[in-house]
Amino acid sequence: MDADGIHGQLDTLILATLLRGEAHGYAIIGALRERSGERLDLPSGTVYPALRRLERAGHVTGKWTQAGGRRRRVYEITDDGRKALEKGRENWLALRQVMTAVLDPS
């Protein structure tokens, strides 16, 4: 699965990833690829702007670090981010119920 089709769930996916510990953008992409069983491979042009959006919104905080000459921006989820994730999870469950009800013949 490429990046289309995750409409509206990107923030939730990123926040859920950060719940396991801080990470930089490239690592997040890799973590999502791995956890999804190689199904999800997000382009950088999708993830990095999303991280900046999340930072602007106060859902994550970012700080620059250095790892062997490579600069990394490591992000950490905030309390607001946890709340947003919880809301995102609820929205997801609601969507899931609706989709199941409509798609599955009863």
Partner DNA sequence: GGTTACATGTAGCTCGTCTACATATCAAGA
Partner DNA sequence: TCTTGATATGTAGACGAGCTACATGTAACC
Q: Considering only residues 16, 17, 18, 25, which one is a binding residue for DNA as defined by CB under 7 A?
A: 25
Q: Which residues contact 1 (CB under 8 A, 6 or more apart)?
A: 36, 39, 40, 41
The minimum distance between CB 96 and DNA, in angstroms, equals 15
Fill in the per-residue mask, 42 to 61: x = in contact with DNA (CB under 7 A), - = not in contact.
xxxxx-xxxxxx--------
Neighbours of 26 (CB within 10 A): 14
Residues in the interface with DNA (CB under 7 A) total 33
Among DNA, a second copy, none, residue 59 binds (CB under 5-8 Å by kind): none
91: left (phi over 0), alpha (psi -120 to 50) or beta: alpha
Among a second copy, DNA, none, residue 77 binds (CB under 5-8 Å by kind): none
103 binds DNA (CB under 7 A): no
The minimum distance between CB 99 and a second copy, in angstroms, equals 6
Count of residues in the chain: 106
Q: How far apart are CA 69 and CA 60, in angstroms?
A: 24
Q: Residue 32's closest CA among 51, 58, 57?
A: 51
Residues near DNA (CB under 7 A) are: 2-4, 6-11, 24-27, 30, 42-46, 48-53, 67-74
